[in-house]
Amino acid sequence: MAIEKKRLKVKIRLDSDPTRIYDAITNPLKLAIWFCNKGEINLKLRGAVRFWGEDCVATTFKEKEIKGAIVALEPNRQMRFTWPINGTISEVGFQIDDRGRCCDLVVSHEKIPPNALMMDAWIIYLYNLQSLLKYQRPAYRLDYNRIDTGVIKRELFVEALPSVVYRALTNVADLRVWFSKDAECDPVIGGIYTTGWKDKAGQPAGPREIKELVENKKLVYDWDFAEEGKSGDLVTWELLRIGERTRVNLRHSGFDPARYNKDYMQGWHAYMLTLKDFCESGGWLSFGVIDGDWGV
């Protein structure tokens, strides 16, 4: 029986010109900042590419690095290369769409094997690329050599006041933009806090009920995946004003200490960056999914 392979297509709005974006996706020195720590590219059709390092999601696959070849190349417009993932040859494409004052970068990833969890990885990569082009530094990198065990902890600064971040975490309309289109929230202790997610058996999964709530400072809700048994998970958001910005601390605890947490670790990392984007942009996202689901 053939293994079903998946695909995804995502885009991000970049306030930059095609030349700078093309340089960022083809220059090993730039790639080392937003994509993988180390890289080599023979920038020609059928030229070899190689990426590796602790910030490279390939370290979680059996190959431990990306070793592929360029299959399409058009300066300032596109690049496509092959990427072996757990024995399957997937293919990544970068397409630059010039919008005049800005550009959309569309990333397609095809023939992805099951359980690769590439959607979250690409969200993290693209937000770091956006930050590189805007601020000359990554936004929030992820070390794949250190998969968290027992407890997931994340800290990120958002250039907005705690009231803005708190609203994004508790207002249904906001949640449906950056967190889940099916989100429900009754912002009181004991109120529902759900996303509409389902596990493989079709049972409700993820957030359930608000356990603690302090306006503009703290939100705690429980979290459950029935297929993993009752684990007593808690997700805690803490907000601290520092000047005109907010330090956001996330803690996800209560699951089996032996659980392999690439999905939680990478997923929360991606959601933290999405929250930051939403709050700093005034309520919209520069990132969007065109095709594929979050399980890809």
Percent of the chain with pLDDT over 70: 97
pLDDT digits (tens, 9 = 90+) for 97-106: 999 999 999 9
pLDDT at 166 over 80: yes
Does residue 268 sit within a domain?
A: no
If asked whether residues 111 and 219 sit together in one domain, one would say no
If asked whether residues 122 and 10 sit together in one domain, one would say yes
If asked whether residues 43 and 75 sit together in one domain, one would say yes
Query: What is d(CA 119, CA 8) in angstroms, rounded to the nearest whole number?
Result: 7
If asked whether residues 122 and 167 sit together in one domain, one would say no
* Tally: H helices and E strands in the chain: 6, 15
CB of 66 closer than 8 Å to CB of 49: yes
pLDDT digits (tens, 9 = 90+) for 27-75: 999 999 999 999 999 999 999 999 999 999 999 999 999 999 999 999 9
CB of 159 closer than 8 Å to CB of 270: no
If asked whether residues 46 and 124 sit together in one domain, one would say yes
Does residue 58 sit within a domain?
A: yes
Q: What type of residue is 151? A: V
Does residue 289 sit within a domain?
A: no
Q: Domain with 95 in it: what CATH number?
A: 3.30.530.20
If asked whether residues 43 and 157 sit together in one domain, one would say no
If asked whether residues 128 and 167 sit together in one domain, one would say no
Domain residues for the domain of 223 are 151-259
Number of domains the chain contains:
2
CB of 246 closer than 8 Å to CB of 239: yes
Does residue 247 sit within a domain?
A: yes
User: The sheet that has 218-225: what strands, in order across it?
Assistant: 151-158, 245-253, 233-242, 218-225, 205-214
> Residue 1: which pLDDT band, with cuts at 50, 70 and 90?
very low
If asked whether residues 121 and 169 sit together in one domain, one would say no
If asked whether residues 42 and 114 sit together in one domain, one would say yes
Average pLDDT over residues 127-133: 98
If asked whether residues 96 and 176 sit together in one domain, one would say no
pLDDT of residue 226: 61
Full-model pTM: 0.95
pLDDT of residue 294: 74
CB of 33 closer than 8 Å to CB of 135: no
If asked whether residues 104 and 169 sit together in one domain, one would say no
**Would you call 288 helix, strand, or coil by DSSP?**
strand
If asked whether residues 110 and 199 sit together in one domain, one would say no
Site of tokens 């995946």? 225
Does residue 28 sit within a domain?
A: yes
pLDDT at 230 over 90: no
Average pLDDT over residues 164-186: 97
Query: What is d(CA 151, CA 131) in angstroms, rounded to the nearest whole number?
Result: 28
Does residue 16 sit within a domain?
A: yes
Neighbour tally for 243: CB within 10 Å = 8
E-assigned strand segments in the chain: 6-14, 38-41, 48-52, 66-74, 78-85, 88-98, 103-112, 151-158, 184-185, 193-194, 205-214, 218-225, 233-242, 245-253, 287-291
